[in-house]
Amino acid sequence: MLLVYYVVFSQSNDLTAIYEKQLKTDFGITRLITSVVMHILMQPEFEQSLNMMKYAINHPWKFRS
C-alpha cells in the first residue's frame, strides 16, 4: 500500500512531468517490487489452474457432456 501511495501522490498533473518521473530509478524499483510481489501472490492460483487443465486433458471421458 505504501508503494501505491508513493506512485499516486508523488505525481503532478502535467502529463510530460508524469512521463519524465516514470523514467526515474525510484519508479523502476517500485514497479519491480510490486511486480515481484504480484507474481509471488498469484503463483498458487496459476499452479491450481494448470493442475485443473492437466486433469481435464488426462481425463477427457469425464467431460464429454
Query: 3-class SS at 11?
Result: coil
At 60 the three-state DSSP class reads helix
What pLDDT sits at residue 35? Answer: 93
Domain count, the chain: 1
Average pLDDT over residues 7-14: 64
Given a contact cutoff of 8 angstroms between Cβ atoms, the answer to whether 29 and 7 are in contact is no
Q: Percent of the chain scored above 90 by pLDDT?
A: 42
In the predicted model, is pLDDT for residue 11 greater than 80? Answer: no
- Residue 21's alpha-carbon distances to 9, 31, 33, 56, in angstroms, are 12, 13, 17, 47
Domain limits for position 14: 2-63
The Cα 43–Cα 55 span in angstroms is: 18
The C-alpha atoms of residue 22 and residue 11 are separated, in whole angstroms, by: 9
